[in-house]
Structure 1
Amino acid sequence: MNRAEEGRAQRDRKEKSGTQRSGKEKVRNKRQGSRRPRKSRGTRHKPVFLPVLIGVLLVAVLFFLLRGCSPDIERDKRETGKTAENDEKTEEIPDTPVDKYGVFLGIDSNSFSITKFEDYDIIVVDVQELSAQQLAQLHLAGHIVYSYLNIGSVEKSRDYFERFQEYFMGSYDNWPDEVWVDVTQEEWQKFVSEELLDRILDKDPEIDGLFLDNFDVYSRISDMENEDMTQDAYDALTAILETYQEEELPVLINGADLFVDRLIREGEIGLIRGVNQETVFSRIMNYDLDSFGRQNDKEKETYLSYLKRCREAGLAVFLLEYTTDESLKKEIEQFCMKNSYQFYISEHVDLGFSDK
């Protein structure tokens, strides 16, 4: 997960965005010839005889109404055979906390229990850590399932960790088994936008969206005060988002306020559906002991202003908090209900199931 304490000092510095270059075009062009083929959605034709067409449609509608049935509507979506009924789950992320939200990245195939998810509508899991059968159970139970994808760093537990060592950019504070990765490298971009995505879709063709983590790598690169590298990082990350958009996969970005703010400024906010922000009200005091406290006022207000900008830009807003304090839980719930924000409160840093 993107840890809220990582790199907060960068926020107070003005970002040197410079003038737009053609870097993004270069990123796209390098990958253009090697993208996996996608099924054609067909060509729409304009009606030649509009009155006749309308008449035929009306007759068809009346026919099905009189027979008391409705035609099956099938849609081509990533060649999975999804029906329109299933596709409706991904049309919109709810703007109000009516549908309960949960983030369960600490759950693997051994700790999986379908009954533990029954109180949640929208759930985030690590598809790489669950079996295809377990994922099918989640969909069958009616859950909206988002898959976690780590874009800006790599965990040592991943089978591809050693493959990208030459692109590592240093250790990740508070997470000794994780390192930052240089997202400007073409090989890494191709991996996360194609190969890793294919792994996800092969295991779970019904996945409803992606929960993307560690786009804060943009802030880390920006901190180097190199305009070219900062621009290259932005171009690389937006190119990755465009690939997911082509797959019609809604995207939530975890953290990464500097990057999301730039998306808003650049008019590219349509590349994502929403944002998830950790520790707005709470604070992790000890990562090993599940020790939590309240967020300081300055940090809290910074986050709240950012989330307000996101909502005004048309994004769905999600909060992920860590606390065992019942009064703080109530405060978070009341705030989110008032502002129509989704929220999840975990009692464990690793985002396993709650003890309750």
Structure 2
Amino acid sequence: MKKWLGLFGIILLGVALFFCFQVSGKKPSDYGVFIGMEKKDLLQLSKSYQTLVLDVTYLDKTDIKQLHFRSRQIFAYLNIGALETSNSFYQDFKDLTFKPYDNWPDESWIHVTDSAWQDFLVHQLAQSLKDKGVDGLFLDNFDVYDHDQRPEVYASLVQLLKEFQTMNLPVIINGGSTFVSQFLAEDPQLARQLIYAVNQESVFLAYDFDAGKPVQQTAEAEDFYLDYLNNLSQTGLQVFLIEYGADSHQAHQISKQCQDLNYTLYLAPSILLDRE
């Protein structure tokens, strides 16, 4: 009897908590991306998230554990295809850069075919992120393949994905449509095995860096992204979107479209991804 009473009590508690979350409006948000947020602000996020993407450079294992109390899965940002002057390892790899990064003056594209860079990404950066307790990796700048489409670059990116899978680190690829499309065309089974999800920025709103504000995406670009993402969705890959600086009307329209398409959306107030 005590066993059943205890079980009944747990059920009642669960129902009560669920009701409270619904009434208070504190149901976890699906997706949050805060790559530019300061540590003190990260540890004081006002919402809970199903999927949270962070730059965990200045976070430790205890911080990640704290964030896990309110977030189901945490993906750590990892810049695969570019090098930033602010990176602590910038001097070690600056000679591998080959082209400036448009609109981001402190960043340059890097030769991902270099074995030292690959080894550093896997055995130092990714391993340190795993040791902190993250659930997976948010891989940025696979668009390096757009700037250097040699077969060796493609093969290097695939090899990195295999390495991360060996480490039991699921990956979300940010952008990289040229690479992802080719990978799905050439080896769809392996692509689905190695890629947990794809994130795409600015499908509906482009960001005008000169004006410092979002503008309506061109019809051509929007159609391209929607066709591309539909193909990904049809193959079984999850689709995440980030849109920057939408006003209330735009936010409502974009949210409705993403809901209809079954895409997971984060409406970012800032291009710097530094605030909720």
By how many angstroms is 1:161 displaced? 0.7
Which has a greater percent of strand? 2
What pairs up with 1:245-264 in 2 under 5 angstroms? 245-264=165-184
Give the match for residue 197 of structure 1. Answer: 126
CA shift in 2, pair 1:142/1:322, >3 Å: closer
SS at match of 1:114: coil
Give the match for residue 349 of structure 1. Answer: 271
Give the match for residue 204 of structure 2. Answer: 281
What pairs up with 1:204-243 in 2 under 5 angstroms? 204=132, 206-222=133-149, 230-243=150-163
By how many angstroms is 1:138 displaced? 0.6
Question: Aligned Cα RMSD in Å?
Answer: 2.0
Give the Cα–Cα distance (whole angstroms) in 2 for the partners of residues 139 and 119 of structure 1: 9
Give the Cα–Cα distance (whole angstroms) in 1 for the partners of residues 208 and 75 of structure 2: 28
| Deviation readout 1:51-86 (Å, 9 max, x if unpaired) | xxxxxxxxxxxxxx99x99xxxxxxxxxxxxxxxxx
Alignment pair present for 1:130 and 2:50: no
Alignment pair present for 1:159 and 2:102: no
SS at match of 2:57: helix
Give the Cα–Cα distance (whole angstroms) in 1 for the partners of residues 138 and 198 of structure 2: 9
Give the Cα–Cα distance (whole angstroms) in 2 for the partners of residues 132 and 194 of structure 1: 18
What pairs up with 1:305-320 in 2 under 5 angstroms? 305-320=227-242
By how many angstroms is 1:328 displaced? 1.1
By how many angstroms is 1:114 displaced? 2.7
SS at match of 1:252: strand
Give the match for residue 105 of structure 1. Answer: 35
Q: Does structure 2 conserve the Cα–Cα contact (< 8 Å) formed by 1:293 and 1:323?
A: no
SS at match of 1:263: helix
| Deviation readout 1:202-260 (Å, 9 max, x if unpaired) | 3x1x21111100000011002xxxxxxx1100111111100101112111100010100
Q: Does structure 2 conserve the Cα–Cα contact (< 8 Å) formed by 1:109 and 1:131?
A: no
Give the Cα–Cα distance (whole angstroms) in 2 for the partners of residues 257 and 99 of structure 1: 26
Letter in 1 for 2:266: Y
Letter in 1 for 2:116: E
Letter in 2 for 1:198: Q
| Deviation readout 1:105-140 (Å, 9 max, x if unpaired) | 111224334333x24221100111324332221112
SS at match of 1:115: coil
Give the match for residue 113 of structure 2. Answer: 184
Q: Does structure 1 conserve the Cα–Cα contact (< 8 Å) formed by 2:51 and 2:71?
A: no
Q: How many residue pairs were aligned?
A: 250
Give the match for residue 293 of structure 1. Answer: 215
Structure 1 stretches of 4+ moved >2 Å: 110-116, 129-134, 140-143
By how many angstroms is 1:290 displaced? 4.4
Give the Cα–Cα distance (whole angstroms) in 1 for the partners of residues 83 and 246 of structure 2: 29
1:171 to 81, 100, 103: 100
Alignment pair present for 1:340 and 2:262: yes
SS at match of 1:189: helix
1:114 to 44, 58, 65: 44
Give the Cα–Cα distance (whole angstroms) in 1 for the partners of residues 251 and 206 of structure 2: 13
By how many angstroms is 1:273 displaced? 1.1
Give the Cα–Cα distance (whole angstroms) in 2 for the partners of residues 242 and 99 of structure 1: 30
TM-score between both structures, scaled by the size of structure 1: 0.67
SS at match of 1:338: helix
Give the match for residue 6 of structure 1. Answer: none
TM-score between both structures, scaled by the size of structure 2: 0.85
Q: Does structure 2 conserve the Cα–Cα contact (< 8 Å) formed by 1:290 and 1:348?
A: no
Structure 2, unaligned runs of 5 or more:
8-27
Structure 1, unaligned runs of 5 or more:
1-64, 70-97, 223-229
By how many angstroms is 1:163 displaced? 0.2
Q: Which fold has the larger relative contact order, with Cα–Cα distance below 8 Å and residues 6 or more apart in sequence?
A: 1
1:272 to 183, 191, 195: 195
Give the Cα–Cα distance (whole angstroms) in 1 for the partners of residues 112 and 185 of structure 2: 21
